[in-house]
Amino acid sequence: MRRRESICVFGNLASGIWPRRRTFILAMAAVLLLPVEASHAGWLSDLFKGSPKQGKSARQGKPPKHVASPKPATAAKRAASPKRTASPRRQNVKLAALGPVQIGPAAFKPAAARCDPAKFRIVLDVGHTAESEGAISARNVSEFVYNRRLAREIEEKLKAAGFAETRLLLTEGKARRSLVKRVDAANDMRADLLLSIHHDSVPSKFLEAWEFEGKKSRFSDRFSGYSVFVSRINPDFKTSFAFAELIGQEMKAQGLDYAKQYSQAIMGRYQRELLNKETGVYRYDELIVLRKTQMAAVLLEAGSIINRDEELQMNSPERRNIISSGVVAAMRTFCEPRWAMLGPL
Ligand SMILES: [Zn+2]
């Protein structure tokens, strides 16, 4: 059985067009249809699924059973008082750490004059669909399953923290069409902020073979970590970047490392510009959910599920609690009145 090769933020959310000259034509690309690059059909799995029926049941199934299942009640309880360390580091984004994209202090002011948690509309976009499931983990579980579970836990905690207008966005259909649908849905909901939840994989050249529960599987233990992506083309890039920074800071405060390979040449055409070497925020202009949404938008790769050790961690309630609590903490910081004191953009 041929196994699909896939990676998260590349194949499914980006248009995949003109990788080498994208910076010159992004403005035009924003209004075009979403042409794709057939030469990477195996990798761009959701756009060109070679065998959509293969292994469907396994991919759509529950995560590995030897790992404990989530405990929503406990998770929600923890969310009521997420671990906070109100350090100066969190309050002062490290401008000095910024890379080539020089972003001034104004970048860290939210668009809203004041963020009222009770009214602030957060859309949690569950990456991929049941039909186009994204990456396949080292243990043959679809990324969509991971995304949906983590997004639900984040939703639960945000609501418990007072963000009553948080909505989960589950999209159906094949990848290309679903991208348009999810963006349209978020825009129709007039969301204030979109956070797209994903789990990471690697380019196919890094994949290795192994067997899990008697089935041939693929893995790569070479890379691990979370990463956060923003698009310069988003109409509210400054707010997007500010929120991405807060998420990255929270992840780091919890002792998590970000995925550094995206800044390295070995990623080839998938190399990304690292906007902050401290927080792991990358620039990825082409991502459709980031560039075509009318509100601030951030994509979080919560961790790698192609890395065998990290998949186990991503499947653990403890890790998911860290990540979901981090998102809640970032949201709270984002909405604190001190942000409003900075004034409108
Ligand atoms: Zn993904």
Chain segment 21-76, per-residue pLDDT in tens: 333 333 333 333 232 222 222 222 332 222 333 334 344 445 544 433 333 333 33
Does position 140 have pLDDT exceeding 80, yes or no? yes
Distance 61 CA to ligand 1 centre (A): 17
Band of the pLDDT at 227, cuts 50, 70, 90?
very high
pLDDT of residue 26: 35
Distance 135 CA to ligand 1 centre (A): 6
Sign of CA dihedral 309, 312, 317, 323: positive
Task: Centre a 10 Å sphere on the Cβ of residue 257 and count the other Cβ atoms it contains.
Answer: 11
Inter-residue contact 150 to 68 (CB < 8 Å): no
Tens of pLDDT, residues 170-211: 999 998 899 999 999 999 999 999 999 999 999 999 999 999
Q: In what order do the strands lie in the sheet with 193-200?
A: 167-169, 122-126, 193-200, 296-304, 227-230, 281-283, 273-276
Inter-residue contact 271 to 284 (CB < 8 Å): no
Distance 330 CA to ligand 1 centre (A): 21
Inter-residue contact 305 to 200 (CB < 8 Å): yes
pLDDT of residue 212: 98
Does position 294 have pLDDT exceeding 90, yes or no? yes
Distance 225 CA to ligand 1 centre (A): 14
pLDDT of residue 78: 32
Does position 343 have pLDDT exceeding 60, yes or no? no
Distance 228 CA to ligand 1 centre (A): 12
Distance 294 CA to ligand 1 centre (A): 21
Distance 115 CA to ligand 1 centre (A): 29
Does position 111 have pLDDT exceeding 50, yes or no? no
Distance 99 CA to ligand 1 centre (A): 25
Distance 339 CA to ligand 1 centre (A): 31
Separation CA 233–CA 292 (nearest Å): 8
Does position 327 have pLDDT exceeding 70, yes or no? yes
User: Which residue, chain included where needed, has tokens 């309050």?
Assistant: 91
Q: Which residue type, as a one-letter code, is found at position 192?
A: D
Report the DSSP beta bridge partners of residue 142: 136
Distance 130 CA to ligand 1 centre (A): 12
Distance 129 CA to ligand 1 centre (A): 10
pLDDT of residue 63: 53
Inter-residue contact 157 to 328 (CB < 8 Å): yes
Report the DSSP beta bridge partners of residue 300: 197, 228
Neighbours of ion ligand 1 (CB under 5 A): 8, 127, 134, 198
Mean pLDDT value of segment 288-300: 98
pLDDT of residue 8: 53
Distance 281 CA to ligand 1 centre (A): 16
pLDDT of residue 158: 98
Distance 290 CA to ligand 1 centre (A): 13
Distances (CA, A) of 162 to 74, 77, 241, 296: 17, 13, 23, 20
Report field, pTM of the whole predicted structure over 0.85 = no
**Which residue pairs, CB below 8 angstroms and at least 24 apart, start in 266-269?**
267/203, 268/203, 269/19, 269/20
pLDDT of residue 240: 98
Mean pLDDT value of segment 80-93: 36
Mean pLDDT of the chain, nearest integer = 76
Q: Where are the domains of the chain?
A: 8-80+96-341
Report the topology of domain 8-80+96-341. Answer: Aminopeptidase (3.40.630)
pLDDT of residue 160: 98
